[in-house]
Chains A and B, each alone.
Chain A
Amino acid sequence: MMRDATARPDPSSEGGRCLRFSVQPQAARLAEIRRFVEEVGGEFGLDAGRVFDLKVAVSEACANAVEHSGSAHAPLELCAWFHPDRLVFEIADSGDFRVPQAERGSRADSRGLGLPLMVALMDEVRIRKTPGGGTNVTLSLFTKG
């Protein structure tokens, strides 16, 4: 499946400045990802509450990637795009997005919570398949007013 750059522009095509962070898809690395989000959020001028929301949403997207990552050696690629009217976090991995309903097992309590949390906390959430067989999640926060 090709990206449709006309209908859904890639954040990178819009000319914004971006900060990148590349990390192995492991649960133990989630704290590092949150430190990156804090830096980005601070630089963008988000208040502490919005930074918290962004940390949770990015963590959920990354945790999803960690859980379904069949290729544990391929890093997670994070990009934070700075636009005048919004901050866009892009999380790209090389696996399929986890389908909550298909999950079973003793840890079923957390299954399916990640996506609703992302949607509740962010202004916009997009999930796309990428040509290489991975998943690309973009989380956007719009500036108010």
Chain B
Amino acid sequence: MQLASSQLAQVPLIVIDGECDHGSAEALRAAVEEALSADPLAILLDLENCTYIDSGGISVLLGAVRRLRGRGWLGVLAPNDNVRRLLEIVGLTAGAGFRVFDHRDDASRALEELRG
């Protein structure tokens, strides 16, 4: 798994490339912690090239949702069908603190709305 951190619409954007499992989740956890340290309204994870995720990675997502509660949300970009199905199974997609976007433009618009 490779990670790249940047920004989109003034919130942290982490691009995940490859497989996010119990062995690699700690690196993602560290990147998310770093992103949270600036108290952002939201965090975006680009999952377009994330080919695999399990409870190791999902636990990091759940933790981020919890930390962002009351402020904004965790947004994921373009997860593939398999990853999206898994996020649905664990109940993430049904929660208010979690958003799924097909395109970066959609995420940018949602961030504008969040800021009011």
User: What is the interface of chain A mostly: helix, strand, loop, or mixed?
Assistant: helix
B58 an interface residue at 8 Å Cβ cutoff? Answer: yes
Number of residues from B at the complex interface, CB < 8 A: 21
With A27-B22, A31-B23, A59-B22 already in contact, the answer to whether A49 and B86 are too (CB < 8 A) is: no
Q: Choose, from A3-11, A70-78, A83-91, A113-121, the stretch at the interface.
A: A113-121
- Taking a contact as CB atoms closer than 8 A, the residue among B21, B58, B63 that contacts A30 in the complex is B21
Chain A residues contacting B55 (CB-CB under 8 Å) are 60, 63, 110, 113-114, 117
When A and B form their complex, what is the total count of cross-chain residue pairs whose Cβ atoms lie within 8 Å? 65
A52 an interface residue at 8 Å Cβ cutoff? Answer: yes
A68 an interface residue at 8 Å Cβ cutoff? Answer: no
How many residues of A sit at the interface, in one of the four size bands? 20 to 34
B22, B58, B66, B90 — which one has the most chain A CB atoms within 10 A of its CB? B22
Q: Mark B73-91, 1 if CB is under 8 A from A, else 0.
A: 0000000011001100110
Docked complex Cα distance between A117 and B59 (Å): 13
B101 an interface residue at 8 Å Cβ cutoff? Answer: no
B72 an interface residue at 8 Å Cβ cutoff? Answer: no
Determine whether the beta carbon of A121 is less than 8 Å from that of B21. Answer: no
Chain B residues contacting A121 (CB-CB under 8 Å) are 89
> Considering the complex, which residues of chain A in the window 16-54 have a beta carbon less than 8 Å from any beta carbon of chain B?
26-31, 34, 48-49, 52-53
Determine whether the beta carbon of B54 is less than 8 Å from that of A117. Answer: yes
B55, B59, B62 — which one has the most chain A CB atoms within 10 A of its CB? B55
The 8 closest A-B pairs by CB, nearest first: A110-B59, A27-B23, A109-B59, A113-B55, A52-B82, A63-B22, A109-B62, A27-B22
